[in-house]
Amino acid sequence: MSFGHKIQELRARYDELRKTLDVDALTTERQALEGKMGEPGFWDNSDAAQEVVQRLKAVKSETDAFSAIQNRLDDLEVLDELATSEGDADAASEVERDLETAESELDKLQLRTYFTGDHDRLSAFVTLQAGAGGVDACDWTEMLMRLLTRYAEQQGFSVEMIDVDYAETAGISSATLHVKGPGAFGWLKSERGTHRLVRISPFDAQKRRQTSFTAVDVTPEFDDAIEVEINDSDLRVDTYSAGGPGGQHVNKTQSAVRITHIPTGIVAQCQNERHQHANRRTAMQMLKNRLHQVELEKREKEAAAGYSSKSNMGFGAADRIRSYTLQPFTLVKDSRTGHEETNVQRVLDGGIEGFVEAYLRWAAGQER
pLDDT digit string, tens, across residues 278-287: 888 888 888 8
The CA distance from 197 to 323, in Å, is: 6
- Judged against a pLDDT cut of 70, whether residue 133 lies above it is answered with yes
Any residues with CB less than 8 A from the CB of 149 and at least 6 apart, and which? 159, 177, 350
The CA distance from 319 to 132, in Å, is: 14
Domains of the chain: 4-112 (1.20.58.410), 124-367 (3.30.70.1660)
Q: Give the pLDDT of residue 119.
A: 82
CA atoms within 13 A on the CB side of 324: 24
Q: Per-residue b/e over 110-129, b at no fewer than 16 CB within 10 Å?
A: bbbebbeeebbbbbbbbbbb
The amino acid at 357: E
CA atoms within 13 A on the CB side of 151: 26
Percent of the chain surpassing pLDDT 70 = 88
Report the alpha-carbon angle 225-226-228, nearest 5: 135
Determine if residue 320 is left, alpha or beta; phi over 0 gives left, psi from -120 to 50 gives alpha, anything else beta.
beta
Q: In what helix (H) or strand (E) does residue 348 lie, and over which residues does it extend?
A: helix 344-348
Residue from 265, 359, 259 nearest 303 by CA: 265
> Helix, strand, coil proportions of the chain in percent (round to 5)?
50, 20, 30
The arithmetic mean of pLDDT across residues 38-52, rounded, is: 88
DSSP strand E in the chain: where? 124-130, 158-166, 172-180, 193-200, 209-220, 235-240, 256-261, 266-270, 320-325, 331-334, 340-341
Q: Give the pLDDT of residue 93.
A: 92
The arithmetic mean of pLDDT across residues 104-131, rounded, is: 87
Q: Give the pLDDT of residue 366.
A: 64
Range of 35-39, 253-257, 266-270, 289-293 with top mean pLDDT: 35-39
Q: Could you tell me the pLDDT band of residue 110, with boundaries at 50, 70 and 90?
A: confident
- Judged against a pLDDT cut of 90, whether residue 256 lies above it is answered with no
Across-strand partners of 207?
A: none
- Judged against a pLDDT cut of 90, whether residue 14 lies above it is answered with yes
Within 21-129, residue ranges assigned H as helices are 23-37, 46-86, 89-112
The CA distance from 35 to 43, in Å, is: 13
pLDDT tens sequence across 50-98: 878 878 887 888 899 899 999 999 999 999 999 999 888 899 999 999 9
Q: Give the pLDDT of residue 247.
A: 45
User: Which of the pair, 196 or 225, is modelled with greater confidence?
Assistant: 196
The arithmetic mean of pLDDT across residues 153-169, rounded, is: 89
Predicted TM-score (pTM) of the model is 0.71
